[in-house]
Structure 1
Amino acid sequence: MLTFLGFLMILIFMVLIMNKKMTPLTALVIVPVTIALFAGFGPELGEMMKNGVKEIALTGVMLIFAILYFSLMIDTGLFEPLVNIILKAVGDNPIKTTIGTAILTALVSLDGDGSSTYLIVVAAMLPLYKKQGMNPLVLTCIIMLAGQIMNILPWGGPTARVMSSLKLGHTEIFVPMIPIMAIGILWVIFVAYILGRREKIRIAKHGKYNNYNSNDIIGEVDPKLRRPKLILINLALTITLLVVMILDIVPLGIAFMIAFCIASIINYPKLKDQQKIISKHAGNALSVAGMIFGAGIFTGILNGSGIMQAMGNSMIEIVPKSWGGYMNVITALFSIPLTFFLSNDAYYFGILPIIVATGHQLGISPEILGRASLIGQGSHLLSPLVPSTYLLVALAGVEFSDHLKYTLKWALGSSIVMLIAALILGVI
C-alpha cells in the first residue's frame, strides 16, 4: 500500500508540473499533503513536514545568499572579463559554445558542489547564449549532464555515502570509477556537439532564439551598478569564498551570508544602494528558496511515512531469484529510477545495504555492487527532490518542466553509456 501511494504521489507530481498545471512549489506541497491525509497520516503530518524542512533549512539559507552574492558580483561586472575571453575563444559558433560549456562545467565541478557550479557556469555562459540567440535549455542540459558525471567524485556526495554505508575506502569504490567518469565526460562532450550543431542549423533556418525569460537571474548588467575599479577586490573575495567552501571551514550558507554582507559594504557603501541590490534580487532568491522548502515537505512526508523505504524495498523484491547472477547489472539499472525518485541518503543508507546483503548470499562482492549503484547518478540531479536543480533553472530563466523534458533522454543516455563502459571494463 505504501509503495503504491509513493509512486502515485510521484506520478501525480510529475504529470502536474510537466503539463504545467501547477508550479513546482505548489505541487511539492499540495500533492504529498493530500496523499498523506488520504493514507491516514494526518496526526503525524505536522511533525513529518517540520522534520523535512529542518533537514533542508541550511540548504535553503545557502541558496538564498548564494543567489544574492553572485547576483551582486554580476552587477559589479566581475564576470565580464571571463565572458569576453570565452566569447573571443568561441566566436559566433554555437558548437564551440556548447562544447566549451561542457568542459567548463567539468572543470568547475571539481569542487564537488553543484550549486556553486551552476552559479559560476551560468554566469559565464548565459550571456554568450543570449548574444548568439541559443536556446537556454541547451545550456541547462549540458551543465546538468556534466555535473551529474562529476558528482561521482568522493567529495561530491553519493560516493562518500557508498563508502560510508559499505565501510569501504576510495580505492575500492572511486578509483575504478575514474575511467567510467572519463567516458561519461566524453559522452557529454559528444552530446554538446550534437546540441550545438542543432542550434547552429536552427539559427540559420529560423533565426535567433529571443524568448528569454525577463525574470532570469543572470540578466543584463546595469551600468550604474558596475564597479570596475573593485574587480580585483571582488575577485579576491570570491576566491576566498570558494576556498572556504572547498575546505569546509564554516557551513556554506553562513559563508555566503558573511561574503554577501562584506561585498555589499565594499561595493555599495550607501545604504540606499544596498537596499536596491537586495530588492532587485530578493524575488529570485525567495522563489528558489520557496521551492527548496517545498521539496523539504515532500521528502519529509516520504521519509516520515515510510513510503520512501517501502518503494525501494518493493523494487528489490520484484527481481526473480533466478536473476541473482546478474545482480550487478540489475543494481546498476535499478539505481537509475531509485536515485531519481529517492534521496541519496535513502538509497545509499537504506536500500543499498539490502542489495549488498542479497549479493553476499550470491557471492557478489560489495564493492562491485557499490560501484554499480553509482551508475544511476547519470540522471539523479534531474530529480525534483534535488534542491540545486531549482537553482539552475532559476538562474537560466527556464521552466523546470521544460528542462526535465529536454534533458531526460540525454541523462538516461549518460547512465546507459556508463553502464556499458563499466561492463566492458569489468568495473562492475
Structure 2
Amino acid sequence: MLAGFSPDELATFAEEGLQGIVAITAMFAFAVWYFSIMRDSGLFDPFISRIVSSIIDKPALLTIGTVGLAMVTHLDGAGATTMLITIPAMLPLYDALDIDRKILAALVALTAGTMNMVPWGGQVVRGVAAIDPATISNVFNPMIPAQVAGMLSVFGISAYYGRRIRENLDAVTAFEGVDEESLIDDAVDGREVSVDPKWWFNFALTIAVLGVLIAGITSPEVSFMIGVVIALLVNVPEYEKQKEVLESYAPDVMTYVGILFAAGVLIGVLEESGMITEMANILVYLIPDVLGSQLPLIVAVVSLPARLLFSPDAFYFGVLPVFAETSAAYGHDPVAVVRASLVGQTVGFPVSPFTGATYLLIGLAGVELGEHIKFTLPLMVIPSSIILAVALLLGAIPL
C-alpha cells in the first residue's frame, strides 16, 4: 500500500499467488496423509526390522544400517519421523560400542538431507511453489540420478566409519546385554512385523503411485489423492476410523499448508506488483556478465552455506524468486535455479539452526548444536558436491 497499490489490487495479487500454489499444496497434503497411512499400516516395518537385526552381531555394519534405516524412514519426506525412529533405535548400539554420538547424528543428517529431495519433501515443495514455471516433474525427474549418486556417497561415508569401528572394537562382546527384540519393537512402534497379502497390496500401491508420479501420467496431487482413497479403503475400512486417522495426521498437514498459503500470498504480491522484476533488474545491473551467465551454478554452490543464514521460507520465498528472475534475464530457465537450490538446501536442512528437525536430531542424539554443525557440515560437502557434479554432467543444472 505504501507503494501506491489499493487494497483491491493487493487482494487480486494475493488471489493470483494462491492460485499458483493450490496444486502443490494439495500434493503435499495428500502425500503426507498417504505415507502416514502406509507407515502406520506397517509397510516399512519389515525393512526396519531386517536392518536392525542385521547389525546386532556385526558392529561394522552399524553405520551402514543407520543410513539404510534413515533412508527407509525418510520415504515420507518428514525429518521428524526419521529422527524419532532412527536415533532411538540406533543410540543404544552406538553407546554399547562407545562410538561418538556425533557420528550417529551426522549419518542420520546426511541421509535425511539427501533423501529430502523427494517430490513431497519440504524444499522441493517450496521451490515449486515459489517459481511459476516449476512443476514437480520438471524439478524432480532430472535430479533423480544426482540424488541416487548422492545417496551412494552417503553409504560410502557410512562404510568408512564402519571400517574404523571394525578396526577398533571387539565384535564378539560389543553388543552383550543389548535386547534385539526391544530395539525392533521400539523401531516399529510396537507393531507386529508381518508380510501378509495386505502388505503386498500396500507395497504394490506405493510403487504404482510413485511410478505414475515420476512418469507424469497424471498430476502429482491426483496421484496421491487416489492413493489415499485406496489406502484408506483397504487399511481402514470403517468410516469412523478413517476420520480418526485423517484427523490424527492433520496437525502435520495443516502446519505446512498454512505456510504454503501464506507464501502464495507473498509471492503473488511480489510478482504481480513487479517488485521481484525490479529487484532482479538491480541484480542484473550489479552482477558482472561473466557471473550472471553462471547464476544456476552459483546458486548451487552457495545453497549449502545459505542454510546457516536463512530459514527455508526466507530463502525459497524471498531470495530464490529474485535469483530465478535474474537468471531468466541471462537466458537460463528459472526451473534450473530451483534444481540448483536443492543441491545444498535439501542436504543441509538437518544442520540449519532455523529448522525444527535439527533440534529434534541433536536432542535425541544428545549432541550440542555447535558440535553437530562443526562435525557434520564438512561431511555434507561430499554428497552436495557429487549431486552437483552429476547434475552438471547430465544437464539438469546448466553451465
Q: TM-score range by the shorter chain?
A: 0.5 to 0.7
Q: Does 1:299 align with 2:267?
A: yes
Question: For residue 144 of structure 1, what is the amino acid of its counterpart?
Answer: G
Distance 1:51 1:383 in 2: 31
Q: Give the C-alpha shift of residue 83 in structure 1.
A: 0.9
Partner residue in 1 for 2:17: 52
Partner residue in 1 for 2:180: none
User: Contact conserved, 2:116 with 2:347, CA < 8 A, in 1?
Assistant: no
Distance 1:313 1:295 in 2: 22
Distance 1:378 1:146 in 2: 12
Partner residue in 2 for 1:268: 236
Distance 1:298 1:353 in 2: 21
Distance 1:230 1:418 in 2: 36
Q: Does 1:234 align with 2:202?
A: yes
Distance 2:335 2:16 in 1: 29
Q: Does 1:142 align with 2:107?
A: no
The C-alpha deviation readout for 1:132-163, integer Å capped at 9, x for no partner, is: 23777863553224555999xxx9999xxxxx
Q: Give the C-alpha shift of residue 355 in structure 1.
A: 2.2
User: Contact conserved, 1:148 with 1:377, CA < 8 A, in 2?
Assistant: yes
User: Contact conserved, 1:302 with 1:308, CA < 8 A, in 2?
Assistant: yes
Q: Give the C-alpha shift of residue 311 in structure 1.
A: 3.0
Q: Does 1:351 align with 2:319?
A: no
Picking from 40, 61, 82, the partner of 2:47 is: 82
Distance 1:335 1:219 in 2: 35
Distance 1:129 1:69 in 2: 24
Partner residue in 1 for 2:89: 131
- What's the TM-score once normalised by structure 2's chain length? 0.58
Distance 1:230 1:311 in 2: 54
Q: Give the C-alpha shift of residue 333 in structure 1.
A: 2.3
SS across alignment from 2:218: coil
Q: Give the C-alpha shift of residue 346 in structure 1.
A: 4.5
RMSD: 5.7
Q: Does 1:333 align with 2:298?
A: yes
The C-alpha deviation readout for 1:75-100, integer Å capped at 9, x for no partner, is: 22121001112223444766324543
Using the TM superposition, name which of 407-416 and 242-251 deviates more.
407-416
1:304-323 → structure 2 map (5 Å cutoff): 304-320=272-288
Distance 1:398 1:376 in 2: 25
% identity of equivalent residues: 21
Question: For residue 52 of structure 1, what is the amino acid of its counterpart?
Answer: G
**Judging changes above 3 Å, is the alpha-carbon distance between structure 1 residues 253 and 419 closer, same or farther for their aligned structure 2 residues?**
closer
**Judging changes above 3 Å, is the alpha-carbon distance between structure 1 residues 117 and 271 closer, same or farther for their aligned structure 2 residues?**
closer
SS across alignment from 1:249: coil
User: Contact conserved, 2:48 with 2:69, CA < 8 A, in 1?
Assistant: no
The C-alpha deviation readout for 1:22-69, integer Å capped at 9, x for no partner, is: xxxxxxxxxxxxxxx454445322222222222111222122222222
User: Contact conserved, 2:115 with 2:147, CA < 8 A, in 1?
Assistant: no
Distance 1:288 1:76 in 2: 23
**Judging changes above 3 Å, is the alpha-carbon distance between structure 1 residues 314 and 373 closer, same or farther for their aligned structure 2 residues?**
farther
Partner residue in 2 for 1:63: 28
**Judging changes above 3 Å, is the alpha-carbon distance between structure 1 residues 65 and 96 closer, same or farther for their aligned structure 2 residues?**
same
Q: Does 1:379 align with 2:344?
A: yes
**Judging changes above 3 Å, is the alpha-carbon distance between structure 1 residues 52 and 193 closer, same or farther for their aligned structure 2 residues?**
farther
SS across alignment from 1:118: coil
1:17-28 → structure 2 map (5 Å cutoff): none
Picking from 239, 255, 258, the partner of 2:223 is: 255
**Judging changes above 3 Å, is the alpha-carbon distance between structure 1 residues 238 and 327 closer, same or farther for their aligned structure 2 residues?**
closer
Distance 2:222 2:110 in 1: 30
**Judging changes above 3 Å, is the alpha-carbon distance between structure 1 residues 45 and 143 closer, same or farther for their aligned structure 2 residues?**
same
User: Contact conserved, 2:284 with 2:292, CA < 8 A, in 1?
Assistant: no
User: Contact conserved, 2:18 with 2:268, CA < 8 A, in 1?
Assistant: yes
**Judging changes above 3 Å, is the alpha-carbon distance between structure 1 residues 56 and 354 closer, same or farther for their aligned structure 2 residues?**
same
**Judging changes above 3 Å, is the alpha-carbon distance between structure 1 residues 373 and 315 closer, same or farther for their aligned structure 2 residues?**
farther
Distance 1:84 1:297 in 2: 44
User: Contact conserved, 1:309 with 1:346, CA < 8 A, in 2?
Assistant: no
Q: How many residues align?
A: 329
Structure 2 gaps of 5+ residues are 92-100, 128-132, 135-141, 164-173, 175-185, 307-311, 364-368
1:195-214 → structure 2 map (5 Å cutoff): none
Distance 2:262 2:377 in 1: 22
Distance 1:236 1:259 in 2: 11
User: Contact conserved, 1:78 with 1:235, CA < 8 A, in 2?
Assistant: yes
Distance 2:211 2:325 in 1: 33
User: Contact conserved, 2:51 with 2:69, CA < 8 A, in 1?
Assistant: no
